[in-house]
Amino acid sequence: MSISPPPVPAPATPLAAASAVACHAHKFGGSSLANAERIRHVAALLREEDAARIVVVSAMQGVTDALTALANCALAKQPWEDDFRALRARHLDTAHALDAGGVHALAAWLEDEFATLHAQLSAPKRSPEWFAEVQGVGEVWASRLLHAALGDDASRWAVLDARDVLEVHAGELGVGVDWPASRARLLAWRGARPHANVIATGFIARNGNGVATTLGRNGSDYSAAIFAVLFEARELTIWTDVDGVLSADPRLVPDAVCLASMSYAEACELAYFGAKVLHPQTMAPAMHAGLPIRIRNTLDPEAPGTLITAQSQPAASPVKGLSLVPDMAMLELTGAGLIGVPGTAERMFAALHTACVSVTMISQGSSEHSICCVLRADQAERGRRAVQAAFRDAIADGQVEGVRITPGVSVLAAVGDGMVGTTGVSARLFHGLAQARVNIRAIAQGASERNISVAIASEDATRGLRAAHAAFWLSPQTLSIGLIGPGNVGRALLAQFAQAASRYGGGASGLDLRLRAIANSRRMHLAPRRLDPGEAVEALELGQALDFDRFAAHVRAEHLPHAMIVDCSGSDAVAAHYADWLAAGIHVVTPNKQAGAGPIERYRAIRAATRNGGGHFRYEATVGAGLPVIQTLRSQLDTGDELTEVEGVFSGTLAWLFNRFDGSVPFSQLVREARDAGYTEPDPRDDLGGLDVARKLVILAREAGRELSLEDVEIESLVPPALREVSREDFLARLHELDAPLQARLDAAKREGRALRYLARLDRNGRARVGLVSPEPNHASLHSQLTDNLIQFRTRRYASNPLVVQGPGAGPEVTAAGVFGDILAIAQALGARP
């Protein structure tokens, strides 16, 4: 949307000559003048500048609303005296604080003002003039309060009641300025006052008949721009309670950044689409006069603020900011009879105009089968009735299906001069919204290309805004993370999170990994904002009973663009939820093999959820801990290769045991050493039984497109049948019973000049087996070290010489690193720049 400002006639006599230095215009809003302390702060800011100044003030914060309420109560003959007394007391208290010695006779002057107001409220008149008189006195009071706060400098300042100078008239698009008349009045006013500095009231004016009026809501900003032009100021500074124009509403996007510069066009677009810092009407006089506008923070005057000029400085992102307009509805007119019929759109919008319904956004497909527009929710039903009446005959004849209203709509607008002529802007916006699972209902883009607007469901609005903000690198990509299973791997991952906080804490990394929930098999803790990784495990003690639905819903917060659950539990019950989580758009990362090697129906459901636009599913650590095993296999398959065989050492624990097992010490002693070192599971049978290795083989087979199940794998367990069902304590006490049979296997292998290795193998015929073997002397597994995993892929390309992935495959740290790598891979796919 763009605006064409009305012409601002050049002055007949230069007003700047009234001052020895160039004039600087300032405007202070109600928040900057909220109380005596704030008003003193404003006075101090004004003392720091040597230039001549024209200062436009709003009423004290909340005063205009209070006066409006008093006027309405008086007209409705409702009680207003108590509110009147409270307003009077607030101003008198402020006056006593600012003019304690009575030098400016401020309190007495205010008593007269409130006496006049009391008389007006006691005899209310149902006229715009009376209402404007009552509504506009707050600015008059504020101007005198600020003047008194200047203390000894007050004699250098004149106070201008805008009604003595500013002449306006009502126009179709709002209040217009009678520039020649206003300039003439100002020249006369200035002729009687030699002061270089002026405090002027905002918001109020008079019409051509000399009757008091106002400039409407946000009229003080408009007044500031008008007076800046009338006084020929070199710049207008609008002081408010934020550092400048932000890239988005900071209440919805905490990572919103302050924009160093903007063009008038960008500021107008953002203002029309909900940015509250500057009203679009303010820009009209400034645009025509080429007047720079700077937005600054009264509470942080050292901040540079945002400079608004004809052309903004180039920025890294083509989009400068995003706005969200809530409480909208979509009106849609559909019907085959609309196709190719001239005047349909004119008829529809004429009906809306007659019904005084404002249209925010328009969208029509090239088929002409439907026209839709977005309008305010409180006007939707009125708009529907108006359009339905306009097309009553066509509806009755069946040429038009009818008029439909879709409530609960918000409009998200991306704005920036850099969008003009830049390819891929729409794609980036739509991709960001798609990744956040936000559906677009309608799209509109003007020919200027500096605004793309989309209609989305209000329930998705905050998430969509944050996702779009991150998509254009205006803020980090935020991942809301829930961790399940704070065991050895989970704790190692939490430690890595803590160590990475300085690297991935937002800012230049473009990534915010936000841990918000943690759970074990019994309890969970849900943090409202962020959970410190170093305190996460202890927080479980104060947690509540585990509820997977509540856990997932908390992680999938509506105000955060992306959600992820990291499952380090090894639990089949947790894996049973993956498909539902993925279908809901929650990304899943896991070293848990239960999903990849579990029931084939569940595996298919997980795959279907990811294919159908659900979350990302990453599970690299299920096979080789931190090794890129699945990634390597996928790279070959995705480029057209074909897996024929896979073989290797799939367990870092078993690798360590048989790399050490040479007969010099009993096998049971090695198992105890491995357990003490953290290489085995708490119950070593989980490693020695071979089931874990079999699961890894199934995962790789399925990755290659083979529908292998765990039941199809021949598994040799190293645990004697007599020890498989006993308690863990009994098993550890009887661990020596493994020594004799394994020593016999080793002796037999040595007689052939060989050693023992626990290998997994999937051959070209589809046979899958894991067990203890005596490989040939040149086998690669005989040359691995300690906990090395070693996976050999034979493919069509690597037929004679296999592709080998080798490296440490046991230990919580390397497994956690593999999980962390998957997390970062998803973050990068979402647009982060880790």
Catalytic residues: 696
Task: Give 3-state DSSP helix, strand, coil % of the chain, rounded to 5.
Answer: 45, 20, 35
What does the DSSP assignment read for 614-639?
---EE-THHHHTTS-HHHHHHHHHHT
Q: Are 577 and 679 in contact (CB under 8 A)?
A: no
Which letter does DSSP use for residue 530 in this model?
Answer: -
430/423 Cα distance (integer angstroms): 13
Whether 43 contacts 147, CB under 8 Å = no
Q: Hunting for tokens 């357990």 — which residue is that?
A: 675
Q: Is the dihedral of CA 658, 660, 663, 665 positive or negative?
A: negative
- Distance CA(58)–CA(359), nearest Å, equals 30
Judge whether 513 and 481 are in contact, CB under 8 Å: yes
542, 570 contact by CB (below 8 A): no
Handedness of CA 539, 543, 546, 550 (dihedral sign): negative
Q: Give 202: exposed, middle or buried? Use CB within 10 Å, 0-12, 13-18, 19+.
A: buried
Report how far residue 615's alpha carbon sits from residue 606's, in angstroms, rounded to the nearest whole number.
10
Give how far Cα 194 sits from Cα of 22, 189, 198, 626, Å. Answer: 15, 10, 10, 79
Inter-axis angle of helices 264-272 and 280-289, to 10 degrees? 170
Separation of alpha carbons 289 and 274, rounded Å: 25
Helix (H, G, I), strand (E, B) or coil at 402: strand
Asked if 78 and 70 touch (Cβ cutoff 8 Å), the reply is: no
Burial of 586 (0-12, 13-18, 19+ CB in 10 A): buried
User: What amino acid occupies position 813?
Assistant: E
Residues 6+ apart with CB under 8 A from 616: 587, 588, 610, 826, 829
Evaluate whether 384 touches 403 at the Cβ level (below 8 Å).
yes
Backbone angles phi, psi at 828, to 5 degrees: -65, -40
| CB of 273 closer than 8 Å to CB of 329 | no
For residue 576, give the amino acid letter.
A
Tokens of 603: 């595996």
Residue 744's CB is within 10 A of a number of other CB atoms, namely: 10
> Which residue has tokens 């349909």?
344
CB 617 within 8 A of CB 630: no
Exposed / middle / buried, residue 316 (Cβ in 10 Å: 0-12, 13-18, 19+): exposed
Sort strands 359-364 and 370-376 into parallel, antiparallel or unpaired.
antiparallel
DSSP class per residue in 734-796: TGGGGHHHHHHHHHHHHHTT---EEEEEE-TT--EEEEEE---TT-GGGG--TTEEEEEEEES
Angle between helix axes 425-435 and 461-471 (nearest 10 degrees) is: 130
CB 770 within 8 A of CB 760: yes
Close Cβ partners of 755 (under 8 Å, ≥ 6 residues apart):
658, 662, 746, 749, 774, 775, 782
What is the token pair recorded at 316?
């890294």
In the three-class reduction of DSSP (H, G, I as helix; E, B as strand; rest coil), residue 400 is classed as coil
Report the SS3 class of residue 330. Answer: strand
